[in-house]
Amino acid sequence: MSQQKTFIQWLLLSGRIALLSLAASLLGACALTPNKEEAKKQSDALLQSQLQHVETQLKKPHAGPYKHIYLGSAQHSQSLVFQRDILAMESRLKTLNTNTVSILLSNQFETQQLQFPFATRPNLDRVFGRLSAWSHSHPLALTMLVSTHGAPDILSVNIGNQYYQPLRSAQLKSWLDKLHPRTKVTLLLSACYSGSFVESLQGANRMILTAAASDRNSFGCHYHEKNTWFIEQLLGPHFSPHSTWDDVYMATRSGIERQEQSQNLQPPSNPQIRGDERLRKMTLAEWFNH
């Protein structure tokens, strides 16, 4: 009797898994993706509108020496947490610099109308083409957040359960290197193994923080999470005008360690920071406004 009951439970579980897989496949087939002409038109129009808005804002008089642009890229459609990350970061950055202008890309799971342009390499290439041109005309400060699933030297791109060309360190380095050398860059990577990007991307006027070391997972990417743990802790009370980057990093790392220990997660994610010591001692008010 016990064996029969176990077999029936196994059949029920297998049936549920099969139904979930079928539902995911059907939804994926209905999802808007770059492969569909109408979806691509929507994405292109949304991106053009954002780029035009930034162009307009850059032409306006500005009190500080640097004009601050925020680029958020939520690259995986299987969890809304990545989109929540880029929106939360946008909101907090505008408290530090009210003149911040944003470019937001997100691979949301939509079947009729896109909210944001697709977060794909071709779209990022288009964005960085404009950023490069702007940086040679205006002193810029760029903050870029990429939130997604990751692997060593891979930041995944998934739309409607389909995988597209991932973002790798060589491509990101190529884009960043085309910016004017005076450009202040803050690079935030919330993904597993995101520390694998650090060595090739570090440079003058660059502050880099990652959710994990090069050989570690990061946590908090499930659909029900408000934010990934890295962004949740990064945007704590310490993300304030008078905190230095070292202050922010240490508080973020400590908060993540407490979460990991409370849930017995091993090995720890070991978030990373790279930047000249002079930059790490700057307050966020100095970094984002002067």
Q: What is the pLDDT of residue 3?
A: 54
In 3D space, the residue among 79, 57, 69 whose CA is nearest the CA of residue 150 turns out to be 79
H-helix or E-strand containing 18?
helix 2-30
The stretches in the chain having pLDDT less than 50 are 7, 11, 13-14, 16-28
d(Cα 288, Cα 68) in Å, to the nearest integer?
A: 7
List pLDDT tens digits, range 76-107. 999 999 999 999 999 999 999 999 999 999 99
The predicted-structure confidence for 168-214, as pLDDT tens digits, reads as follows 999 999 999 999 999 999 999 999 999 999 999 999 999 999 999 99
| Residues 172/197, Cβ–Cβ less than 8 Å | yes
Give the domains, in start order, of the chain with CATH numbers.
42-289 (3.40.50.1460)
Q: Quick check: helix, strand or coil at residue 123?
A: helix
Number of Cβ within 10 Å of residue 124's Cβ equals: 25
At a CB cut-off of 8 Å and minimum separation 6, what does 26 contact? none
Contact 169, 200 (CB under 8 A): yes
| Peptide bond connecting 267 to the previous residue in cis, omega within 30 degrees of 0 | yes
Please report the DSSP string for 69-87 in residue order. Answer: EEEEEE-BTT-THHHHHHH
Residue 101: name the closest of 149, 148, 147, 138 by CA: 138
Kindly state the helix (H) or strand (E) to which residue 39 belongs, with its residue range: helix 37-58
**Secondary element (H or E) of residue 68:** strand 67-74
State how far Cα 28 lies from the chain centre. Answer: 22
- Diameter of the chain measured on Cα atoms: 80
pTM of the model: 0.89
From 190, 146, 195, select the one nearest 167 (Cα to Cα). 146
